[in-house]
Structure formats: C-alpha cells, structure tokens
Structure 1
C-alpha cells in the first residue's frame, strides 16, 4: 500500500508513524552476504532521513543479490508496515520474506522455512511506499528477520533504508517480572507434612 502523501511533507504521519527506529537494538543488527561488514546498520534511520545516502548503505556481494537482515528490538513491538528504499538500475530488492522471533536463521533456513509473510516489492527510490503486514501475525515481536531473495536483475542488491511502522509494547518487562515472581518460593507450594491429628509430624 502506498503512502500517498508527498515525501517532503514534514507534518505527515509517515514521519511519526515510522517510530520503531528508536526501538531497534542497533548494536545487534546484522546481515548475511553484506559486502561491507556492519554496513547494514546504516539503513536504519529516522523517516525524514530515509533518502540521505551520505551515511552509507547495504550492498550484497557482487554476483550474489541475496541478503538476510536480522533486526532485534529493545522491547517487544507490533509491526504495521515495512518500507524499503533500494538502489537504481535493477539493484532494488524484488522480493521480501519476514520471519519473527527466530534467531540464527541462515539462507538455507530462510529458503526452507515458512515465512510469516512475503511480499513482491516494487522499486521505491523515493521512499513513498510502505508494505502492510498481516498485523495479527506481527504482535509481540522481539526480533525480525527480513530475507531479500532477489532483485530486479542486477549483479548486486542495494538497500538504502528500511523503515518499520508500528508501536512498542512492554511485554519483555512483563515477562521478566513474571519469571521473577515464579521463581520466588511460594509457601503454599512447600507444605510441611502433617500427621493424622493435623499437627506437625516430627522426625525422631
């Protein structure tokens, strides 16, 4: 689905809606088959900076257009849509597959596993398109893996921006709190044996 507002419109919701950028654990973002180690981190930036290219971009190794991008979050998120700005001359990714809450996926896994959702992409050089998720499938997402299996015919794939629209939850904090609660001994779970008269039994 296209974001129909002009990309230069500062007050349009696109700017604020693509708010998951600040919830990405950027230090742990990684990619397989990137030509420059660590360059994947440069594609995550604020919505209004999505067309800036001075900070670098993600490029696959020459002759192999496939890319696999791992995106962990600092808190669980709900993802409404994804925006991808690729390169020109056939280097933009043409297909995208998404996996949630899976760590350590490699290309073989990505090819053989059933994705949560997949999309046929179009060239989005101006960053005005967003791809809607099946929202009910993108709840409580602790990490997201995006598989770009092919591009539009070039020897390499280039990505300048990946934007995630949605909202953060507090579920990770709640889970931690629940675990702490559950490991705290509950007196009712450790009843002292009693004798037939109802008093405490004594071991001589």
Structure 2
C-alpha cells in the first residue's frame, strides 16, 4: 500500500485551544451499554481497501483487525498523527472501538464519513472525539490493556466508511510516535436496501397485434373489474 505523503507544513487546527466536546456517551452516573465479541464487524470490513495516512509501515494495517496476535504494530512516520479509514462491505451501525496502543495517542477523533487525508480531517469537525488514556474518562473501559471507546449510537446509525484520526501532543512532543497493535470495531451489520425496479410496464389496453388470437379472449383490461 503506497504511503500517503501529505503536506506536513499544514496548520494543525486541532490545537488544544479548540472546543473539545468530549461528550459522554451515556447519562451521567450510568455505565455505557456493554458490548461483546459477537458484535465484532470484522467479517464486514473490506481489509484490502483500508487506507492509512502517515504510517511508516502502512502495509501492516490489515493485521490490526485479525484475531491473531500482532507483533508488528502500525507506527506513525513523521508527526504523532495517524489517519485510518475503514470501509465496510455492507452498511453498519457502529457502537464502539477497541484499541491497543503500545505508544498511545492523546486523542481520538471519529468521522462517520471518509476523510481523504490528515489535513482535511483536521479541518473537519469530527462526529465524535474522546481523550485516550491515562485520562480515559467514563466513556472507555480497560481490560487486559485494551481500551474500548463507546460511540454515541445516535451519531453512528449507518455508515459504509469510517475514519479514525489519532493525535499525539504536536505542541510539546512533535517528534513523538503513535503505534497500534490491535483495532476492533463493534456494532451491527445492516441489511442493504432492496433496489426498486426502475420501471414497471403497465398495460391497461393491450395492443391486439402484440398477442396471438388464442390469448385475446383471455386478456382483460386492468381498468375493467367484474364485481
């Protein structure tokens, strides 16, 4: 997978002076709805079409989603920021993201629609964003070094492509690194909408020339009803 050489001289609009609406995903004092491994969307992820920006080893991104132990984490190349776009084979409803990061980011931004590069993601208001450990807050759970960030279900009702932007401390540690060894998306697969026929042939008064003589006696106009 080719590396995304985006312009690293762009202005980082995600400075910590911006409005951080790290909203809770559940009413205060109530835990988020629990999820299970059965809600994994792995089988609906189009692994071959996953995109990553600013990774030193982008070809390893697919290994993040496998059930096997990943010994080669995905690592940032330049500044501590990483963009991953995950396409699905059918529409899905998202409920949570589980992540294991040997070198964790400080913040995660989630986008309901695909973000083509880091610069455009930084200039786009995320659908949701959270702080990452050690200040995980009530919207995350820790179990065996895996952090689960619960997403507001009303904000992620349906999507076919989902982007995650991981951000480190660009001001105090611009040469820092972010690495990920495991990434799991949980939610619900949605049935694709059935396509309606583009046209319907309606014959209210059939042309006698279109039907053989033996069919004409049996053919009745749909505008005539016998009561």
Same fold (TM over 0.5): yes
2:55 pairs with 1:44: no
Q: Whose helix fraction is larger, Structure 1's or Structure 2's?
A: 1
Q: Secondary structure at the match of 2:80?
A: coil
Q: 4+ residue runs of structure 1 moved beyond 4 angstroms?
A: 151-154, 185-188
Aligned residue in 2 for 1:169: 190
2:70 pairs with 1:53: yes
Aligned residue in 2 for 1:78: 93
Q: Distance in 1 between matches of 2:133 and 2:169?
A: 10
Cα 1:137/1:94, change in 2 over 3 Å: same
Q: Distance in 1 between matches of 2:190 and 2:62?
A: 23
Q: Secondary structure at the match of 1:130?
A: strand
Contact residue 92 and residue 151 of structure 1 kept, 8 A: no
Taking structure 1 as the reference length, the TM-score comes to: 0.70
2:124 pairs with 1:113: yes
Contact residue 34 and residue 59 of structure 1 kept, 8 A: yes
2:162 pairs with 1:144: yes
Q: Distance in 1 between matches of 2:163 and 2:56?
A: 18
Root-mean-square deviation (CA), in Å?
Answer: 2.6
May I ask how many residue pairs the two structures share in their alignment?
Answer: 161
Contact residue 86 and residue 125 of structure 1 kept, 8 A: no
* Cα deviation, residue 69, structure 1: 0.1
Aligned residue in 2 for 1:8: none
Aligned residue in 1 for 2:105: 93
2:175 pairs with 1:160: no
Residue ranges of structure 2 left out of the alignment (5+ in a row): 1-23, 25-33, 135-141, 204-227
Cα 1:186/1:143, change in 2 over 3 Å: farther
Cα 1:127/1:16, change in 2 over 3 Å: farther
Aligned residue in 1 for 2:214: none
Contact residue 30 and residue 38 of structure 1 kept, 8 A: no
* Cα deviation, residue 75, structure 1: 0.8
Q: Secondary structure at the match of 1:82?
A: strand
Out of 66-75 and 162-171, give the one that drifted further.
162-171
Q: Distance in 2 between matches of 1:93 and 1:110?
A: 16
Taking structure 2 as the reference length, the TM-score comes to: 0.63
Aligned residue in 1 for 2:149: 131
* Cα deviation, residue 186, structure 1: 5.4
* Cα deviation, residue 119, structure 1: 0.7
